Each structure stands twice: as structure tokens, then as C-alpha cells.
Structure 1
Amino acid sequence: MSGDGSSDSLLDLEFAYTSHQDSCRDLYSPFYYCRRPLGHDGVHAAGFGSGRLRWRHDPNHPPHMLS
């Protein structure tokens, strides 16, 4: 386990206990936004099982946040 919350079991727990209001919501696409808690360390993540996506935010690209 890397400690940055990127393992599947840790992400499942984070998603289950993080409300939409308290989630990061950095956009991967219009259909996928980060479901990790605000202020998380490590990668952004969305989705479950084989459909789970992980991404790092490009520091040269301004964040896109859902309101």
C-alpha cells in the first residue's frame, strides 16, 4: 500500500464515507470527477472496479471543478 489512498480498498472506503459536498470534484471528464475527500494526497480517482480511473492533475492546467 502506497499511503496516498490510491489502493482500491482505501478508495472504496473513501468513496463510501465522503459526501458529494465534501469530495474533491476535480474533473477527469464531464462524466468522471474525483470522489476523494477535499485536500487528499496523491492521485485523483473516480469510478469503481474495472471502471475506476486514477489521474494526476497537470500543474500547468488550471483545475476544473464542478460547482
Structure 2
Amino acid sequence: MSNDTQLDLEFAYTTYRDSCRDLYSPYYLCRRPSGHDGAHAAGFGTDRLRWEHEHGRSPHQLS
């Protein structure tokens, strides 16, 4: 999974149009680049959320 510094860089250089926007997430807000590896993520600092989605089951929040 990506650390916070790497996620901050991804978010800074990813436009909304190019972001993942995971349709199965609890918030529909994945800010990582489209086609990324690893967990979905949104938000900054202590408000950052991470979640995974596996086909056939609901998303589960990691943080």
C-alpha cells in the first residue's frame, strides 16, 4: 500500500478527469490515478481514507 507522502504526490498530479473514481467505494472519491495498483484512497492527513474493493463483496475500509 502507498504511504502518505506518495499518495500526496499522486493526488497533486492527478486531475479529477484522470482519477480512479471507484464506483464501488463508500465515498466514490478515489483520488489515485486511473488504473492504479493497491488500495483506493481519498482525502488528506488525518482525514485520509483507504479502502479495498473485491469483486463480489462490499468495500472494506482500511483506515
Q: Aligned residues, how many?
A: 56
TM-score by length of 2: 0.79
Relative to its length, the structure with more helix (as a share) is: 2
How much identity, in percent, do the aligned residues show? Answer: 62
Hey, what does 1:36 align to over in structure 2? 32
Runs of 4+ in structure 1 off by over 3 angstroms are none
| RMSD across aligned positions (CA) | 1.7
**Which one of the candidate residues 8, 11, 16 is aligned to 2:4?**
8
Relative CO higher for 1 or 2, CA cutoff 8 Å, sep ≥ 6? Answer: 1
* Contact 1:24/1:35, CA 8 A, preserved across alignment: yes
